[in-house]
Amino acid sequence: MGIRVAVAGASGYAGGELLRLIAGHPHLELAVATGFAQAGSKIGAVHPHVRSLRDVVLAPTAPGVLADADLVFLALPHGESAALAAQLPESVKVVDIGADFRLKAAADWTRYYPGPHAGTWTYGLPELPGQRERIAASDRVANTGCYAVSVTLALAPLIAAGVADPEDVVVVAASGTSGAGRAAKVHLLASEVMGSLSPYKVGAHQHVPEIKQATGATSLSMTPVLAPMPRGILATVTARPLTGADPREVLAAAYDGEPFVQVLPEGQWPHTASTFGANAAHLQATVDVDSGRIVVVSAIDNLVKGAAGQAVQNANLMLGLPEAAGLTADGIAP
C-alpha cells in the first residue's frame, strides 16, 4: 500500500510522463488522474504507452477528487495552478509543474504571464546549494521551467564561484517538440517540424527572469529554438570569464556525488539522446580558444529532468522517500 498521489492535468505530455513514472515507482500509487476535455477517457486511450494504467479513467479536474491524495502533482497550463492549489487542503502536499509559483518578483510574472502573481513557493531544484533541505521541509514546491533547469545547472555554480561574469550571459537553447505541449497547432505539425529548425520568442522568453533569479545572472540573452525531435533540450551557455579557473572543474566539484547531474569526462560532449527518458543532466564545459568565453553545454530530457522526473524527485524529498526512488539516470538510446 503506497503513498497515494494524484496527477491533475494528466492528458498532456508532462502528465503522461508523470503517469509513467508513478506506475514504475516502488512507493507511490496513483490515487486519481484528471483531465479536461479528456475527462472520462481511459489512460489507455489517451496515453497508449502507459499500459499498466490503461484501464484507469481520467476524472474531471476538480479540488474534490484531489483532496484525499497525500500529494498532488499539478500539470496544468501556466496560470491555472494557483486557483486549484488554493482550494486544496493544507494537509495535501503539492508539486506544481507550471510556472505560477516560480517567480519571486510579481513584476517578472506580469511581464510574461496573464493574471496576477499568485505567490512564490520553494523552488524545486534540489541540486542548488541548500535547496534539497528546503524542499524536504516544504509542503508546496514549484518545479523549474524546462529551459531553466538546463541553463541553471550549467551556469549557477560558475557565477557562484565568481568564475563567470553575470553581466554578459548568452544562451541558445534548442528543445524537442514535446516542450510545446500537446495542443493541436499548425506550426507543431510533423509536416512543419520535421527537417526544420526554427527560433521562437526571440528576444523575450518567459524563462529569462527565472534563470536570472536562480543563477544570479544580471544580464542574459536567451534564444529558444524548436528542433525536429520529440524530446530533449540542448542548451549552449556562454559567459565571460572573471578568472582563469577551469569551468569544467568548477562544475565537477559542484555536482560531485549528485545522482542526476553529471559532468562528462573531459572531451566528451552531451547528446540529448543519451538523456532520453532519464532524470539526468549531462554537462561539459570549455574555454573558447578565439574569444576566451566560457562555453557550457547542457543536455536534459525536457519531460523528465525538465518536468516529471524532477517533480518526482521533489516529491520523494517532500515525502521522506529516497530521493532517487522510481527514477533512473540511465537513458534509452539509440
Catalytically active residues, by annotation? 146
Residue with Cβ nearer a copy of itself (129 or 322): 322
The amino acid that residue 124 corresponds to is G
What's the DSSP call for residue 292?
-
Cell of 258: 549528485
40 binds a copy of itself (CB under 8 A): no
Cell of 262: 553529471
195 binds a copy of itself (CB under 8 A): yes
Within residues 223-262, the interface with a copy of itself by CB under 8 A covers: 223, 225, 227-232, 234, 236, 238, 262
Residues shown for the chain: 334
The amino acid that residue 246 corresponds to is D
216 binds a copy of itself (CB under 8 A): no
Cis before 334? omega within 30 = yes
Distance CA 51, CA 163 (A): 48
Residue 295, C-beta contacts closer than 8 angstroms, at least 6 positions apart: 236, 237, 238, 285, 286, 287, 288
Residue with Cβ nearer a copy of itself (66 or 208): 208
The CA-based angle 3-281-201, given to 5 degrees, is 100
330 binds a copy of itself (CB under 8 A): yes
Within residues 111-130, the interface with a copy of itself by CB under 8 A covers: none
326 binds a copy of itself (CB under 8 A): no
Distance CA 74, CA 282 (A): 27
Evaluate whether 149 touches 300 at the Cβ level (below 8 Å).
yes
x/- letters, 146..165, toward a copy of itself (CB under 8 A): --------------------
Q: How many residues form the binding site for a copy of itself (CB under 8 A)?
A: 95
186 binds a copy of itself (CB under 8 A): yes
110 binds a copy of itself (CB under 8 A): no
Would you call 126 helix, strand, or coil by DSSP? coil
State the nearest-atom distance from the C-beta of 159 to a copy of itself, in Å: 15
Q: With CB under 8 A as the contact rule, which of the stretches 81-89, 96-104, 124-132, 173-181 interacts with a copy of itself?
A: 173-181
Residue with Cβ nearer a copy of itself (97 or 297): 297
With CA atoms as reference, report the closest residue to 164 among 222, 237, 241, 236: 241
Cell of 101: 509559483
Q: Of residues 191, 244, 257, 320, which one binds a copy of itself by CB under 8 A?
A: 191
Residue with Cβ nearer a copy of itself (253 or 333): 333
Residue with Cβ nearer a copy of itself (141 or 155): 155
Report helix angle 146-160 to 247-254, nearest 10.
110
> β-strands 198-199, 28-35: how paired?
unpaired
Q: Of residues 219, 243, 253, 322, which one binds a copy of itself by CB under 8 A?
A: 219
Residue with Cβ nearer a copy of itself (78 or 182): 182
Instruction: Tell me the CA distances in angstroms from 199 to 225, 295, 314, one per residue in order.
Output: 4, 20, 31
Within residues 53-82, the interface with a copy of itself by CB under 8 A covers: none
The amino acid that residue 25 corresponds to is H
Within residues 258-297, the interface with a copy of itself by CB under 8 A covers: 262, 264-265, 268-278, 280, 282, 284, 286-293, 295, 297
